[in-house]
Amino acid sequence: YAMLLSLVFLIVLVAAVVGFVFRHEIKANFETNLNLALRNYNATVDQHSDAVDTIQRTLHCCGVQNYTDWEKTEYFAQRGIPQSCCKSQDCPEGDLKDLSKAKAKVFVDGCFFLVTSTMESKMSIVAGISFGIACFQLIGIFLACCLSRHITNNQYEMV
């Protein structure tokens, strides 16, 4: 049991170190995928499009760096900026096709910075919970070793 707990502890430790070391690559990969999701955005039922809409509605942002990122997409040529970028529920489609009019009606901040800053602000909470779980695992390893030693020492005791 102690060996199993030690293995789980080492896996979690390696995952944490790898996540910390490659955090910049994770950010770059996220930005690339967010740009790809914007380019392939459509209003039909699509996981990536739903994810973009959810991020934009929840964080009150629009595009990757800012709302003008939508200008480079096929969706913008057809329908303009998506409704999920609107500050209010009533955004006319004509206003969403014109970037100068849309600036007053949509969120102007980009989603990439808001998502990464939100993740970084929550990282201390995740690290604290992980540290607490690691401490419990170390206590479990110690107690399992003590129990094993006690059983081994008392195996040949005369009754």
Alpha-carbon gap, residue 152 to 144, rounded angstroms: 12
Return all residues near 66 (Cβ < 8 A) that are at least 6 apart.
Answer: 108, 109, 110
Percentage of the residues of the chain whose pLDDT score is greater than 70: 95
Q: Tell me the β-bridge partners of 66.
A: 109
Residue 53 has pLDDT above 60, yes or no: yes
Question: What is the C-alpha separation between 80 and 95, in angstroms, rounded?
Answer: 8
- Residues in the chain, how many? 159
Supply the pLDDT for residue 60: 92
Express each pLDDT in 84-138 by its tens digit.
899 887 788 888 888 888 888 899 999 999 988 888 888 778 878 888 888 899 9
CB 86 within 8 A of CB 92: no
Task: Write the DSSP symbol of residue 71.
Answer: G
The count of structural domains within the chain is 1
What average pLDDT does the structure give for the chain? 86
* Cα–Cα dist 146/23, whole Å: 38
Task: Give 139's pLDDT tier (boundaries 50, 70, 90).
Answer: very high
CATH of the domain at 102: 1.10.1450.10
Distance in angstroms (rounded) separating the CA atoms of residues 23 and 11: 18
- Going by pLDDT thresholds of 50, 70 and 90, the confidence category of residue 156 is low
Can you give the pLDDT at residue 17? 81
Residue range of the domain that includes 23: 1-157
Q: Which residue has the tokens 């695992």?
A: 137
Q: pTM of the full predicted structure? A: 0.68
